[in-house]
Amino acid sequence: MFDMRKKVKPMQLFGIGSMISLCRWKNSQYDSSKYEYESSQEQTTVAKAVHSYLYQFFGSHAVYQVFSCIRPPSLEKIDRTHIRVPENTTAEELEACFTASPNQEFIQLNGYFNGNLCPNSAILGAEHLTVISNKGHGDEILLGFRGKRLECSGPFHDATIVQFLNEWKSNRGFHNLESLIINSSDYKNYDRGDIIKNMDVKQLDRPEDILQITWEMSHSCSYSMFSTVPPKSTPSGFRSRDYLIRDEVTMKLLKFPSLVLQNIFGLIELHNLLVLSFCSKRTRYLIQSLQRYQWMNIKFVRYTFEWEDKIWVWVRLGNKFEGFSLSPTTLEETVITPMEVFGMGPEVPICFHSEGNYIYDKDQKHLVVHGIHDYLYQFFGSSSIDYEIKTENELPPSLKNIHKTSIKVPENTTAEELEACFAASPNQEYIEIDGNFDGNLSANSVIYGAKHLRVFFEGDHGDEILLRFKGIRLQFHSANFHDSTICQFLKEWKSNQGFQNLKSLMINSSDYKNYDAAELLEDIDVRQLDHPDYILHINWRMSISFPSAMMVGCFPLKSFPSSFESRDYLIRDDDGEKASVFIEDDDVRIALWNGNSCEMENLNS
């Protein structure tokens, strides 16, 4: 600590420059070296610099530990931390101490620790965790622990002990756990009979036998530098005749012949089959192998983002829809005990909540969605399955291997924010833009390259979208266009200067917009069918994303028919490609003969 009677002269120690006042001071009483720094505000800077220097000097083989009676700075590459928590420390302040080193071998908390941690705290992922708290119950710590060894001093509700034992025994949680010790206060008594009355507790076969089980628990080396160097761990253990056997339902199931398993899997609803696949890699591979033929009937997997962060995952298998939902939660509502579902590790806050429903931490929403999509894409495969996104009031995360996207754009969304939704899947079969879309897209947006593009918006003009479109089919609803833009489009198509991929265009502008066909086509060589009694009926199929409400009671197709009739057509320069044209009131339509279905109709028949 700095002595106010003298000025600290910077000595540029531990790689610290002259800007930080740090110097060596010899204490003659103890004959040990100490260092002083000038300002308490520089404590974090000094600590980080000293640690970085020593880590580089000694190397990574050493165990780096933090022991503190205050909230310590967050240092990188720390293996063990022991904090005597100061009074009135919040969960967020405590969590911040582990930001730079979230995956530690050992953590110990005592002092004025009140038992409160952040949701999915990095502390709960420590391999060895020791918690000493006499303020409140430690239920959330026990149920949220993801490491190997846990020692707690403090009271627990009996129901929490029962829940823990049930989840471990049924193989629904605590897969990493190897030991647990709870030392509650003297006034707390656990009723063994009540706690284990509904559990299949076994006993050793011979009554004269008892099992002695021991292990090594890591600990913090908070000792004087003059004392004997202590070991890195201390022994723990107990003796008992009672034991539990963790359920192995899936292992028994896998012993059935393949044909029997195939029929069993065929009777299990999809969301339950997914839960079964989480049990082990062997189970997942077996399900994939036996169900691969049936999954050839999967039409699409759709992620629907609804109000209040609700997510639905729908799978259309043949003529039926199956799916599951995800609901956000907070620590105040429910404690999320990560269950490592969908291939995600214990650090991801998601768990099974009820029939066909999962709960997740909405602060980690994108991480959860990415994990689910990656798992399903690998689980079902990619051949012939459309992976789709549909949103009701928000911008979706950018996922890989998405074929169709339908977005209801929120208010005040910028072109850059909308573009970011397609960064991972730029080449999509179908994109639909609706909601509060203002017509503005990024220059050279990947949205222009969608094979099929449907745009809903009112107010502004859609000229740039029309003139920059590079896909096959384009459809506008309620959008208005300048007459000059329609003329430019027709001339560029006819002269073969653009829109070489286009097969159809449909514009349905607002009711007050009227396009004058004679003016728009006066400088263009428009042809008519030779026979005055004939008209050409041309139709095609436009990809579509059906709303979730239509999933009940009907089975949507992957595309929707569009058509019009006309006697007028254009011939493209150079290649002679023909396209029918229809302009009337607020409608503009053009469709190529090649690539669409054409049928000549006699008006007099």
pLDDT, tens digit (0-9, with 9 covering 90-100), for 206-252:
788 888 888 889 877 654 444 455 567 788 889 998 888 877 666 66
- Of residues 223 and 562, which shows the higher confidence score? 562
Burial of 373 by CB count in 10 Å (0-12 exposed, 13-18 middle, 19+ buried)?
Answer: buried
Question: Is 423's pLDDT higher than 50?
Answer: yes
Quickly count: other Cβ atoms within 10 Å of residue 301's Cβ: 23
**Any idea which of 115-129, 253-267, 328-342 has the lowest mean pLDDT?**
328-342
Q: Please name the helix (run of DSSP H) or strand (run of DSSP E) that holds residue 456, with its range, or none.
A: strand 452-456
Average pLDDT estimate for 105-133 = 91
Amino acid at 486: I
Q: What is the DSSP string of 367-409?
A: HHHHHHHHHHHHHH-STTPEEEEEESSSPPP--TT--EEEEEE
Q: What is the DSSP string of 224-277?
A: -TTSPPPPSEEEEEEEESEE-----HHHHHTTS-HHHHHHHHHHS-HHHHHHHH
Segment 85-91 long-range contacts (CB within 8 Å, at least 24 positions apart): 85/109, 85/110, 85/111, 85/112, 85/113, 86/111, 86/112, 87/112, 88/112, 89/113, 90/116, 91/116, 91/117, 91/118, 91/121
- Residue 28 confidence (pLDDT): 42
pLDDT, tens digit (0-9, with 9 covering 90-100), for 22-37:
666 655 455 456 777 6
- Residue 336 confidence (pLDDT): 72
Reduced to 3 states (helix: H, G, I; strand: E, B; else coil), residue 165 is helix
Question: Is 265's pLDDT higher than 50?
Answer: yes
- Residue 155 confidence (pLDDT): 85
Average pLDDT estimate for 508-514 = 84
pLDDT interval class at 510 (50, 70, 90): confident
Average pLDDT across the chain, whole number: 85
**Any idea which of 281-285, 339-343, 584-588 has the lowest mean pLDDT?**
339-343
Question: Is 553's pLDDT higher than 60?
Answer: no
Read off the pTM: 0.61
- Of residues 424 and 349, which shows the higher confidence score? 424
- Residue 10 confidence (pLDDT): 56
Question: Cα separations (Å) of 278 from 163, 180, 350, 414?
Answer: 21, 25, 13, 39
Bridge pairing between strands 597-602 and 534-543: antiparallel
**Any idea which of 170-184, 303-317, 423-437 has the lowest mean pLDDT?**
170-184
- Residue 23 confidence (pLDDT): 64
Question: Is 580's pLDDT higher than 90?
Answer: yes
